[in-house]
Structure 1
Amino acid sequence: MHTLQSVSKSFTSALVGIAISQGEFKNVDEKVLSFFPDMKDIANLDADKAFMRLEDILTMRTGTDYHESGADSPHERLNRLPSGWDKFYLDRPMLGPPGTAFRYDSGGVILLSSMLKNRAGMHAAEYAERFLFKPLGIETKLWRGNKEGHTHAGGGLYLTARDTAKLGLLYLQDGRWGEGQVVPQAWVRESLRMHVDLTVEGQPPSGYGYLWWVFAPDPRGNGREYVYAARGRFGQFIFIVPEHDMVVVVLGYTYRGPDSNKPTELLYDRILPAVRH
C-alpha cells in the first residue's frame, strides 16, 4: 500500500455523492452547521460561518481561516490533536463569505467524516468500506484517523496502485461497476464539472470541481483532451482521460518541490502523444 495524500479527497467526494443518493445528506446546499446541532459554544460564529454550505467544502470555498503552510499552521495543529478535529475546524475564524474565494482547505474535507458520522452513524472509513470499497473489491487498505475514530478524510488513505485506479475507472464509467451503480451518474458528472475557474491567462479553461481537479487541454496545443485528476502531495495522481478511455495512476515520493508536478508533465509529454496515434 502507499499513501494517497490528497488523492484521498476524491474518494471522500464519492462518499458525499453516495450519502446524498441515500438521503443521509439532503443536497449540496445544506448548511454545514446543520450537521452539528449538539455542538455548543462554537467560536467566531457569525453570519458567514452560519451560511457555509456543503458545496463550499467540496469546492474549497468555505471562507475559513485555514491553511497548511508551516509547522504551526492550522492544518498541522489539527493533525497533532488526538481528538476534537471537528470543533477545532468549526472554531476557526472566517476570512470572508463562503462560496466566493478558492482557498485550498483540507480541514473542511476532514470535517466531512464527522458529518457522515452524525447523519449515517459511520465515519468516512467505515462508510467507504460498506458503500465504496466492498463494491469495488478493495480489500487491502488503511484509512487513518484520530483516537475518536474520526477519519482523516482529506489525506489519510493508503491503497495499492491497482486499487487506487479503481476510483478512476469508476468515474470513467459514470459511477458504474459491473452491473451496479456505485456512485450516481449525475454526481460523477457534477463532480468533474468545473465549479471554480482557476484558468491561467492565455491558456484553456481549467479549475476545480467537487474535490477533483479539471485540467485544461494541452496548453502546447498538441491535443484537445480534458483531463480530470485527483492530486496529492509528493506526486500522487489519478488521471482520467475520457477521450482515450484511459486512467493513469502515479504513486510515489519521488516528486517533491518543483518536481511535484512531474507526473502531469509526463502525461502530456509522453503518455498522451503515444495514445493519440
Structure 2
Amino acid sequence: MKMPKLGLGTFRLTGQQAIDSVATGLELGYRHIDTAQIYGNEAEVGQALAAGGAARGEVYVTTKIWTANLGAGRLIPSLRQSLDKLQLDQVDMTLIHWPSPNGEVAVAEYMAQLAEAKQLGLTREIGISNFPIGHIEQAIAAVGEGEIGTHQLEVHPYLQNLKVRAFCREHGIALTGYMPLAYGRAVNDELLQRIGAKHGASAAQAALAWQLQQDITVIPSSTKRAHLAANLEAMKLRLDEDDMARINALECNGRIVDPDFGPAWDD
C-alpha cells in the first residue's frame, strides 16, 4: 500500500479528542493516519483504528521516533512499545522525528537502528522528519539511496522549504508536508480565500490543493467533522497556473515549528 496523498494528522490531539478525530476520519474515508511517540496519543489512535472497521491493509499508519529514543539499543524497544499502544504488529512508516539534538547521537547510529527495525518487520518503510540537507545526506549514506521513503517537513504557502524539497526530489525521497494550513493562518488569508472562491472552494482547500498539485502529501488535523470532510474534498480541486504562482508568492520564511533543540535550517 502506498502512502495516501492526504492523511489525518493527530498533533496536539489527546484523549477522547484523538479517538473521536481518528474515528470520524476513518468513517469519512481517510486511510492515512499520522501519529508520533511524543504526541502521547498512540494508544488513542490504536483504539480508534481497532474500532474503526477498516481492514489493516487499507489504512496507512505512520509514527515517529522521539529524540530520547535515538541512542544505541533504544529505538527498536521504543518502536515495539509504540506498536503495542497502536495495537499493531507493524506500522507502514516509521520516521526519525527530529535529528538528535546537538548531534549527541550520530545520524548513522539511529538510521542503522531504523533500518534494522524494517528488517525485523516492525515497519514497512522508513523515513525522516525535520532534517536539513546535511543531515539528509548523512541519512542516505547510512541506509542507502532509495531507502528513505519520505521526508516529513513543515510546508505551507508561507514556508515552502524549496531547497530541501529540491534535494529530496533529486534523491527520490517523497515529501510529506505538515502544518499545511500554517496553524490557521491560511484559513484567514485573503488571497487564498479569493482563489478558493474562484473554484467554489475554501481558503483551506486551496492551500491543501496547492501542495497536492506539487506531489506533496499533506496531513492536516481537525477535531470537527465538517473540516475533516472538507479537507478530503481538496483532493478534487485543481488550481490553474496563475493560482499556483500567486500562492507561491506568499513565501516569507514564515516558519512556525522551530524548537530550541532543532537543527540549523537551510535558508
Q: What TM-score comes out, normalization by structure 1 length?
A: 0.26
Q: What TM-score comes out, normalization by structure 2 length?
A: 0.27
